Chain A
Amino acid sequence: MELAKFAQLREILPEDRFMLCYSGYVSESVLEAVGGTLKERLNLHITEKKKIKVVFSIFVELMQNLIRYGASGPKGEHIPNEERAGFGMLMIIEDDDGSISLLSGNYVSSEEKLAMESRLERLLGRSHEELRDLMKEQMRKPPEIMSKGASLGLIEIARRSTRPIEAAFVPTANAQHFFSIKAYV
């Protein structure tokens, strides 16, 4: 990457507001390190205890999604599985209205895309009560086969988000898709 291109990032990522940005391989140790920094910064920046907790809890679920589903890098390279580290991007940024957007993205296979779409279908556009019922139902079910985690993470993100969550898939090379998700607090 050229220095000029790198410097352009500064324009996209404004420095004058609350922000945290991570791109690279994610693992539980990255979650812990980035999470520690995030918590410190939230405590300095936000006075409302509840808001800090909601931001932090969505952060943890997004990071664990990246760790569990992001099995391959941008070129489809195989990542050694021992640490379950996958490639992922995460951004937490304060918007002009003071709300905080949390975005995460990673590469998924076509198979993972289908599984993710069916999970998303069940929760996009649902009311608070519907999401609560879905959580209750899923908690008493064994974790889904394609979902390596507890399969409750996405529901938790949708419940905690103060606006409806958004998700998108963009096709990339090697029959992969860039999956991104956005929540608000």
Chain B
Amino acid sequence: MYFDSFADLLQMGKHGFYVWTAYGTTALVLVASWLSARGAFVATTRRLRQQAELAQRDAPTTHSTENNS
């Protein structure tokens, strides 16, 4: 490691505050982007599944004729 100790790594001379703020914000932005994209995908597939279940419950006969033809 470039630094002598963990405290040195945190302090980074006089620049610890700036460096850690930049990295912390970056981590926050990336995690938030992931959670938001993931959340939208999960919500959409859940809605799709519900819709498919409803369709199957409402019209079980159409499903079987579809298979026969």
The answer on A and B forming one complex is no
Q: Which residues of A contact B (CB under 8 A)?
A: none
Q: Which residues of B contact A (CB under 8 A)?
A: none
